[in-house]
Every structure is written in C-alpha cells, then in structure tokens.
Structure 1
Amino acid sequence: MRPACESCDRALPAGGEAFICSYECTWCASCVAGFTDAACPNCGGDLQRRPTRSMRA
C-alpha cells in the first residue's frame, strides 16, 4: 500500500481513508473531492475506497 497521496503527498496510514483505482493509484479524500467525476487523473479509472489492512502478524 502506498504511504502517501500521489497529488499532495499527505501521509495515508494503513487504516486511514484513501482512494485507489484499478492500477492502485492512491489519493487522499481531499484531493479526490476535486477530481472531475471522481475519476483517477492518471488513467481515468473509477476510484474506490482503499481497503484497510489487518495489523495481525
């Protein structure tokens, strides 16, 4: 999982809110709010909430 937003470089903790496309481009919620049609600016793909990762070992 990428640790920061690709637009503003804001830190994105594993359990925090973030959005990804099918190519795993990663964005914070603030940047996604400004994207046209909530589409990935890199590939035009649909953005979805990034799943959280369990902290279990």
Structure 2
Amino acid sequence: MLELRPNCELCDCDLPPNSLEARICSYECTYCAECAEKTLENVCPSCGGGFVQRPIRPVGDWGGLGLGLANRPAGTKRHHSQWTQEQRRERTELLRSTPPQER
C-alpha cells in the first residue's frame, strides 16, 4: 500500500491524497508535477528512475474490504529531499536523455 506522502519533497507544497499533481518514483519519492517535470526533468535524484502520476486512493470502502482513506489513511510525515541542488543537477544531467525504462 502506498504511503501517499503529504508534500513535495523539493518545494514542500501540499499534495493531499486526491492531488492530481503528485508524482512518484518506484520507491515512492514524491514531488509535485512542476518539480518532477521542470526542475528534476523526470529523473528521481534518489534512484535515477522516472516519475508517474500518483494514484488516487478512494475515500470510501467501495468493496467492503476495509479499504479507502477512512480505513487506510494517507501518510502525515513530511519528507524533504536529502540531495543538494548540485547533486540533483548532476543526476539530471547524467540521466535525462535516457528514457526511464532504459536507466
């Protein structure tokens, strides 16, 4: 189950569970669409992978299985990138021309 982190790890904007702006890598590093696309150029500074739109967790338990946000709430701990601007730039320069599926 995804943690659904509450913020962009770079600009710290809020990314609520129903945000269409949230982007994640395969390790669930979370960024807003603008930071993922413009600043990071689709290169995760942690793993070097690309980003996809984070799925929306339904509010209700539509299947009666104890799912939905009411039963499985989103994360509340805010995360912040550990990488410096220079480190992010180096990773982006190295990998941005290689498609994520080939990295």
**Pair in the same fold by TM > 0.5:** yes
- Give the structure with higher Rg (CA): 2
- State the TM-score, normalizing by the size of structure 1: 0.87
- Richer in helix (by share): 2
Query: Gaps (5+ residues) in structure 1?
Result: none
- State the TM-score, normalizing by the size of structure 2: 0.51
Q: Paired residues, what number?
A: 56
Structure 1 residue runs of 4+, over 4 Å off? none
Return the letter of the residue paired with 1:47. Answer: F
% identity of equivalent residues: 50
Structure 1 counterpart of 2:16, from 10, 13, 16: 13
Query: Gaps (5+ residues) in structure 2?
Result: 62-103
CA distance in 2, matches of 1:14, 1:51: 9
Query: Alignment RMSD, CA only?
Result: 1.1
TM-superposed CA distance for 1:24, in Å, is 0.3
TM-superposed CA distance for 1:53, in Å, is 0.6
